[in-house]
Amino acid sequence: MAGYVFGIGFLAFAAWQWWSHRTPPGAIEFTGTIVEERSRKSTQTGRRRRMHAPVVTYQHPVSGRPETYEPTRFGGSRFVVGSQTALVFDPAKDRVFRPLDRPVKDMAVLSLVGIGFIVAEMFG
């Protein structure tokens, strides 16, 4: 019974991640330039692993004003100062955000783990 619960939980989390990180209708995709890479200790592994996030400057797609995007999500990927990165402007919420770097890989892994729990429960 626990395998079903864990499997359905993983599948539900994968679906929620897909839904919450999709590009909203009417959103404007554009690019910005990475001007700094921030780093902090991983909250999961402690002192050994560092998490990274970019600080990005961009021209606001509607007003044209130069602005800076401060990171809200840190991940394992490193960033190169001076390179371009994708940004999305959601006019309905008047916010700029970075799309997930690897949404398909993350959702696929979560889905496979969920299916694995369910299959293990069925044949175990």
Task: List, for residues 25-37, the tens digit of each pLDDT value.
Answer: 889 999 999 999 9
| Structure-block tokens of residue 100 | 């997930």
Is residue 48 over pLDDT 70? no
Task: List, for residues 55-93, the tens digit of each pLDDT value.
Answer: 999 999 999 999 999 987 777 778 899 999 999 999 998
Residues 6+ apart with CB under 8 A from 45: none
Among 9, 62, 53, which Cα is nearest to 35's? 53
Question: CA dihedral defined by 16, 19, 20, 25, rounded to 10 degrees?
Answer: -170
Is residue 45 over pLDDT 80? no
pLDDT at 102: 55
| Domain assignments of the chain as residue spans, ordered by start | 1-21+102-124, 25-99
Residues 6+ apart with CB under 8 A from 69: 32, 55, 56, 57, 58, 87, 96, 98
Task: List, for residues 7-17, the tens digit of each pLDDT value.
Answer: 888 888 888 87
pTM: 0.63
The chain-wide mean pLDDT, for the chain, equals 84
Q: Which one has a higher pLDDT value, 115 or 107?
A: 115
Among 28, 1, 21, which Cα is nearest to 121's? 1
Q: Which one has a higher pLDDT value, 121 or 68?
A: 68
